[in-house]
Amino acid sequence: MGNAVSRLGCTVVGYLYPMYCTLKALKNDDKEETKNWLRNWFALSCFFLSERLADPLLKVFPLYFEAKLAVLIWLTVPKFRAAELLYKDYFMPLFLRHENSIDRIFGNIQTATLQAIHFIAAQAFNYLKQQGLQEPEEPGQVNQESKTSREITDDSE
């Protein structure tokens, strides 16, 4: 089929068509169709994540993009109901079995991320203080002691 045509087909079938159908379902306030497209997006996300991890190995195989296009068609076209099948038979049971562990892992990631952000922000404020810049007293307030870039330019002349 050709690498460029297959890649274009993968983009259309894997992204553009699901985006269009999701927007239509949301616009029409069709709850069942919206649920179907949420399942579809979940299945596509799992596929794209798996592909990202295995991509260096898979790209060397002949007809890789054609096979990828076939899988995307199977996942995306509602007639095949592949996303629903995967959701009900595999994804949801697996999730339910490991939900507490997953919640704990994401809770730990969230806590660690917030701690890192606070640490980095504190370091940035300390650096600014060392440079002679003061924190504003209130949000949006400019400290009178710090000079604007225009005042600094005027002083250097």
Contact indicator for 74, 39 with CB cutoff of 8 Å? no
Question: What pLDDT is attached to residue 68?
Answer: 93
What pTM does this model have?
Answer: 0.72
Domain-wise residue ranges, the chain: 1-101
Q: Please say if the pLDDT value at position 25 is more than 90.
A: yes
Residue 40's φ and ψ, nearest 5 degrees, are -65, -45
Burial track 99-119 (b if 16+ CB lie within 10 A, e otherwise): eeeeeeeeeeeeeeeeeeeee
The pLDDT of 112-131, averaged and rounded, is: 94
pLDDT in tens, 60-105: 888 888 999 999 999 999 999 999 999 999 999 999 999 999 999 9
Instruction: Give the pLDDT of residue 142.
Output: 56
Of 56 and 114, the one with more pLDDT:
114
Instruction: Read off the DSSP letter of residue 135.
Output: P
